[in-house]
Amino acid sequence: MKRLRLGAAILNQMPLDWEGNASRILLAIEEARRQQVSMLCLPELCIPGYGCEDMFLSPNVWHTSWEMLQRIVPETDGMMVAIGLPLYVTNGVYNVACVAANGKIAGFVPKQHLAGDGLHYEPRWFRAWPAETITEYTHGEQSWPLGDLLFEVDGVRAGFEICEDAWVAGRPGNRMAECGVDVIFNPSASHFAFGKHEVRKRFVLEGSRSFGVSYIYANLIGNEAGRAIYDGGALIASSGSLLATGPRFGFHEVHVTTADVDVELTRTRRAAVHSMRAEVRDEVHHRIARIPGRLVCPNTGTETRVDAAIMPREEEFTRAVSLALFDYLRKSRSHGFVVSMSGGADSSAVACLIRCMTDLALRDLGIEGFRDRLSYIRGIELCSTSDQIMARLLTGVYQATRNSGEVTRTAARSVTQAVGGTWYELNVDPLVELYTQTIENALGRRLTWDQDDIALQNIQARTRSPSVWMLANIGNSLLLSTSNRSEAAVGYATMDGDTSGGLSPIAGIDKAFLRRWLKTLETEGSAECSPLPVLKLVNEQQPTAELRPASYEQTDEGDLMPYPLLDQIERLAIRDKLSPAEILETLMREASPWPREQLVIWLERFFRLWSRNQWKRERYAPSFHVDDKNLDPRTWCRFPILSGGFGKELRELKKENK
């Protein structure tokens, strides 16, 4: 029997935070040593941070990453540790895992398959390493093996699949299994998306089963660079069995998940699979970097933690955005949040998420840990309850005009006070009237709703922006925009009005989901956050911008179309790239409850608004990625600002459906 204790570390890193990143790596190694870990996997590119973007092409980043590596390597006595950093070789930069063992560098394994879809732009910065290629990396007077390597230490053979390497059909693990690998490391920076953790479980379990190995998967945690959220969720499996899972959406910056494996038992099982090829050629031995010294072996068994439950989508949303808000707050050094409360679903959802953030962080960190993490905020040391913290961190502002109603005013005030925020109500109608009169004097005529509808709506939203920005500036706070993805798709927002803000936390989620989530939060709560019955005031309303006079009975869905249909059209048009005619046939085939002629009207409205408002998408504040069909034009969904606007396709659609 040869027992090893495997460890997977999750880290809350930040791009270019050299000292902070290195200290968290060292804390993980220290914790792993305390737990007698033999082999430790750290996340991908953990030294500089995964989200460095074009700075990966900076020589300073290469040099400083190397400098930090030299601090870390001596702390690896008695264990084998995978440490991620960029490495410049000849004419390219490579995303590599440095293998350090017993206080020395043993070699470097570069990533073979680069992530280039969705929010990933790895091919912009890195080169893909060719399979079964080995060379040397020289720094100063020292050289180490570099390439598609295997490592052998204390009789145990290990190999690597770096994040995307495990998501492709021709996984490197297939070749490693033939070469008698006992353990596969997977250092990852895998962003959160709904349901994605279950996919990771499958490739970890299937890899461990089909390769006949023990498998270590490590990931980042938190909001590392602004948009992507990392959910942690370390995994350790052996021969098809899940041995340990790490926490997801935790607020601690370092966590090490461990599990014990019997190397000889996995070899026995591998030997029993006669269909598994055994590679014995001399070339294989040239791939093996042999590391002198021994690994620490555990004195006693470790209690493993396996959480096989699938987290509901609503709970994933609550936990992901709560963690992202907390990290964005502290990493941007903001002193709180300001939200323009309209009394509707979007602003209410944002306020509730801030309360969930506070409650979940307090539960995870305790009051001392919470205050320590936000110690730069003046007065936070005096707060000892959720309500006191919320009064300090959230300012809700309702800005009324003559078109505002008592229903929304009551809902805005009640929700803000129910979550514990500080409440302000401002009357901006005199400012709206002043702007209107100024333009009327310039034009020499009255502005009317029949002739100037959009301008009269927009001036109300824009007039609200300076005052709410002023409150944010006075408090050194972060102004949150409350746009959702459904509205972003068609530009149903006023630029420099309701889009004002430094962060748009719900712009990655559709309106239909938000409304369902608010109803769940009202009656049941979410993710251990208590129910908020006050949300009934919001959930009973029909969504409205409240920018036209009450006699117009304005509603969002009246201006656009039913939100569930809007979201369905958006997915078919943008995610699936279908034409208007193809979408119509899809909707009819799926027994749409709306008549064909009405669907044609709404399809034309969607495509015209989508094409016309691309400039707005370019100007939205950064948003969080919560699923893999995002509309963020900077990192996910590119579309020309100027285009033909589907004119030909829409003309043909209308002609064929007269």
Per-residue pLDDT tens over the stretch 471-493: 999 999 999 999 999 988 999 98
Same domain, 250 and 330: no
Same domain, 501 and 551: yes
Q: What is the pLDDT of residues 393-407, one digit of tens each?
A: 999 999 999 988 899
pLDDT band at 303 (very low <50, low <70, confident <90, very high): low
In a domain, 566, yes or no: no
Structure tokens belonging to residue 308 = 């096989």
Give the CATH number, domain containing residue 483. 3.40.50.620
Phi then psi for residue 521, to 5 deg, are: -65, -35
pLDDT > 90: percent of the chain: 82
For 561-586, what is the mean pLDDT?
94
Beta bridge partners of 87: 94
Domain that includes residue 149, residue range: 3-290
For 80-91, what is the mean pLDDT?
97
Same domain, 535 and 498: yes
For residue 391, count other CB atoms closer than 10 A to its CB. Answer: 18
CA distance 215 to 473: 49
CA distance 593 to 599: 10
In a domain, 91, yes or no: yes
Q: If we measure between CA atoms, which residue out of 319, 476, 321, 324 comes closest to residue 392?
A: 476
User: How does 342-354 read in b/e, with b if 16+ C-beta sit within 10 Å?
Assistant: bbbbbbbbbbbbb
pLDDT band at 80 (very low <50, low <70, confident <90, very high): very high
Taking each continuous run of H as one helix and of E as one strand, the counts in the chain are 22, 21
Same domain, 348 and 262: no
Give the CATH number, domain containing residue 188. 3.60.110.10
Question: Greater confidence, 536 or 285?
Answer: 536
For 240-261, what is the mean pLDDT?
97
Same domain, 59 and 11: yes
pTM assigned to the model = 0.94
Question: Greater confidence, 580 or 278?
Answer: 580
Same domain, 266 and 364: no
Among 538, 556, 574, the domain boundary falls at 556
Q: If we measure between CA atoms, which residue out of 501, 504, 653, 637 comes closest to residue 588?
A: 653
> Does position 279 have pLDDT exceeding 70, yes or no?
no
> Does position 433 have pLDDT exceeding 80, yes or no?
yes
Same domain, 485 and 428: yes
Same domain, 327 and 450: yes
In a domain, 590, yes or no: no
> Does position 351 have pLDDT exceeding 80, yes or no?
yes
Structure tokens belonging to residue 270 = 């591998």
CA distance 8 to 500: 41
Among 257, 290, 323, the domain boundary falls at 290
Same domain, 200 and 340: no
In a domain, 643, yes or no: no
For 595-617, what is the mean pLDDT?
94
Which amino acid makes up residue 185? Answer: F
> Does position 269 have pLDDT exceeding 90, yes or no?
no
Same domain, 213 and 115: yes
Q: What is the pLDDT of residue 305?
A: 67
Among 258, 290, 322, the domain boundary falls at 290
**Mean residue pLDDT across the chain:** 93
In a domain, 597, yes or no: no
Same domain, 284 and 319: no
In a domain, 605, yes or no: no
Same domain, 283 and 346: no
